[in-house]
Structure 1
C-alpha cells in the first residue's frame, strides 16, 4: 500500500492546525474535535510516512520536523489545487463566471490595480484577487500553486512556467531635479561611482539588476549603498537627496511627469526589460485564466504606464 492510500485530508488538516496553534488542545478546539481524536489523526499520519511530524524534543511547541514540513507543504499545495478545481468547475457551470488569483511583483503594483479595475468592467463575472510580493516571494508562491497567473519580469527557472510577453519594462536612474548630474548629457556609468545608490532588498528583481549595473559602475571600487524595502521609500529617499537609484520607470511615471524626479542621461540607459504574464506548467490553466491571460497580452498598452524617456 502506498503513502497516498494511507494519508487522508483529515490527517493533514490536523497537522496544519497543530502547527498553527502550537498544541493539540488548541488545535482540537479549532477543529471541534477532542484532543485524543487529533492525536489519533497525527499518529496515523506518522505511521503512514514512518516518521515523526513534530519534534519530540520541543514538546508542546508545535515545532515540525523536516518530514512534517514536507507534509504541510503538500497539504497547502493540495488545498491550492482543489481551490483551482472548484474555480474551474464553477467556470464550466456558468460559462465565464469564476475567480482568479493574480500575483504580481512589487514593481507591478503601480499598474496592477488598473488591470483589476479594467477587468471588473470588461469581465464583470470574473472575481480577481491581487497579491503582491517581491520576486522571491512571488516565485515561492508559484511553486506552491497559489497563483493562477503572475505578472513579473524575467521568468524563473524553477518552477517551470509558461510565459508570454506583454510589453516593455524600462529601468532608469533617478535623481532629484537639483542634482549636479541632472541635465548632463551622455554620462558614462563610471561617472556615477562617487554617488550613493539607494537599492531594494535582497530577493527583489530590481536589486539583482542594480547589482549588475553597480559592477559596471564601480569596477573594483566599493560603491556606497543604502538598502530600502520598497519602491516608495526609495523614491522619497532620492527626492530628499539621500542618493540616486536604478528603478523601474513604471514606478516613477508620475514623479517624472510632475518633475519631482528626473532621469539621468546615462549611456546604455534605459535598461530595457520585458514584462511577462506567467503560469506554472504543472497546473492546467482554468478557462478563466486563459481568458484573462489573453486579455493581458492584448490590452497591455491600456494599462502599462506611458513614460517619455
Structure 2
C-alpha cells in the first residue's frame, strides 16, 4: 500500500525537475543538487508509493514518467500552485488587504481584462488582484493546478470540474481590408469565400476550430488556403496589409472596425455569437475575497466588454 505520509515536498520538486529536464544530470543542475541526491529523492518517492515513477532509457535518451509518476507530478503541480496562492494571500494580508485574487484569462480577453481589473480595484480597495494571461490550455491548467481563484474564458472545460456564470456575448466575424470587394456587399458567395486566403491561429486554437465549423456548413468544402500566424495582433496587421482575410473575435478588432481600418463581412450566420464565462474550481472553497470579486464581476453585467452599452 502507498505510504502517502512518507512523501515529501522535496521529493515532488525533484520529480518535477527530472520530468521537465529529462535526466537526473540536468535536474541536478537545475535545482542545485548532486546527482546522488536526486537519485535518492526519486528512490524514496518510489518506495513511498510502492511503484516506479520514471522509465529509465536503456542507453541514452530522455527519461519519461510512468502512469504513477504522472499522477505524482500532477499532485506536485497542484501543491506548488496552492502554496503559491497561499503566499499571495499572506503578503496581501500583511499589507492590510483582506485577501488576494488571481484571475486567469484567455489571451483574447486581454483586450478588456486589464480595464476590468482596474474597475474592480477601484471598486474594492481591500482586495489585491493579479492577472494571468495565456491560451485556453494554460488557463485550464491554472484551474486544475490551483494557480488561480477565477478564470475568464469561452466554453467552460469538462475537466477539471468547474462552476461558471455567463458574463456576456462574445461575437466572432470575418474581417476584411476596407477596400476588399466583399466589404461592399450585404452577402457573400460561399464558393468565392472558400477561395480566399484565410489568416488564422494555429490548429486547435478556439478561433481556428470556430472557422472550421463555420465552413463545414457550406457544400463548397474547406478553405483553399490557410496561412498560420501566432497572434491576433499579427493577424490584424496582415489583414490590413491585404495578405488575406480572417475569422476573429470582434472584441479583438473593435477599435479597428469603429475607425474604418478594417471591415466586416456581412451575410447569413454572421456574426457568430459565443459567450464569455466566469469560471472557478468546483471542488475548492473560494476565499471571501474571491467571492467578493466574482460577485462584482457578475454585477457589472458585461459592461466592461468592448462595444457593450452600459446602464
TM-score (norm: length of structure 2): 0.86
Q: 1:230-309 residue pairs with structure 2 within 5 A?
A: 230-306=231-307
Distance 1:181 1:127, change over 3 A: same
* Paired position in structure 1 for 2:155: 154
- 1:231–1:251: 8 Å Cα contact kept in structure 2? yes
> Counterpart of 2:217 in 1: which secondary structure?
helix
Bigger mean CA offset, 173-182 vs 5-14:
5-14
Conserved 8 A contact 1:88-1:288: no
The alignment of Structure 1 onto Structure 2 pairs a total of residues equal to 308
The answer for the alignment partner of 1:39 in structure 2 is 39
Which stretches in structure 2 are left out of the alignment for 5+ residues?
none
Is the 1:170–1:270 Cα contact (8 Å) retained in structure 2? yes
Report what 2:5 is aligned to: 5
| Cα distance in structure 1, aligned partners of 2:161 and 2:171 | 25
CA distance in 2, matches of 1:15, 1:153: 33
* Cα distance in structure 1, aligned partners of 2:222 and 2:108: 29
Q: CA deviation at 1:77?
A: 0.7
Partners of 1:196 and 1:30 in 2: CA distance: 45
Choose between structure 1 and 2: higher helix proportion.
Answer: 1
* 5+ long unaligned stretches in structure 1: none
Cα distance in 2 for partners of 1:272, 1:295 equals 24
Instruction: Compare 179-188 and 24-33 and name the one that shifted more.
Output: 24-33
Deviation at 1:188, TM superposition (A): 5.1
Residue 54 of structure 1, CA deviation: 3.5
> CA, structure 1 residues 23+216, in 2 after alignment: closer, same or farther (shift >3 Å)?
closer
Identify which range, 146-155 or 182-191, moves more after superposition: 182-191
The Cα of 1:12 is off from its aligned counterpart by: 1.4
| CA distance 1:137–1:83, shift in 2 (3 Å) | closer
Deviation by residue 1:265-299 (Cα, 9 ceiling, x = unmatched): 12221111111100121222222211111111112
Q: Rate the CA distance shift 1:59–1:21 in 2: closer, same or farther, 3 A.
A: farther
1:165-244 correspondence runs (5 A): 165-187=166-188, 189-217=190-218, 219-220=220-221, 222-244=223-245
Tell me the SS of whatever aligns to 1:181. helix
Secondary structure class of the residue paired with 1:185 = coil
C-alpha separation between the residues in 1 aligned to 2:93 and 2:201? 42
Partners of 1:101 and 1:24 lie apart in 2 by: 34
d(CA) in 2 for partners of 1:264 and 1:82?
48
Query: RMSD over aligned Cα, in angstroms?
Result: 2.9
Residue 303 of structure 1 aligns to a residue whose secondary structure is coil
Name the residue aligned to 1:50. Answer: 50
TM-score, normalization by structure 1: 0.86
Aligned mates of 1:2, 1:23 — CA distance in 2 = 25
Deviating more after overlay: 256-265 vs 183-192: 183-192
Q: 1:84·1:286 contact (CA, 8 Å) conserved in 2?
A: no
Pair 1:58–1:100, CA change in 2 (3 A): farther
How far off its partner does 1:53 sit? 3.0
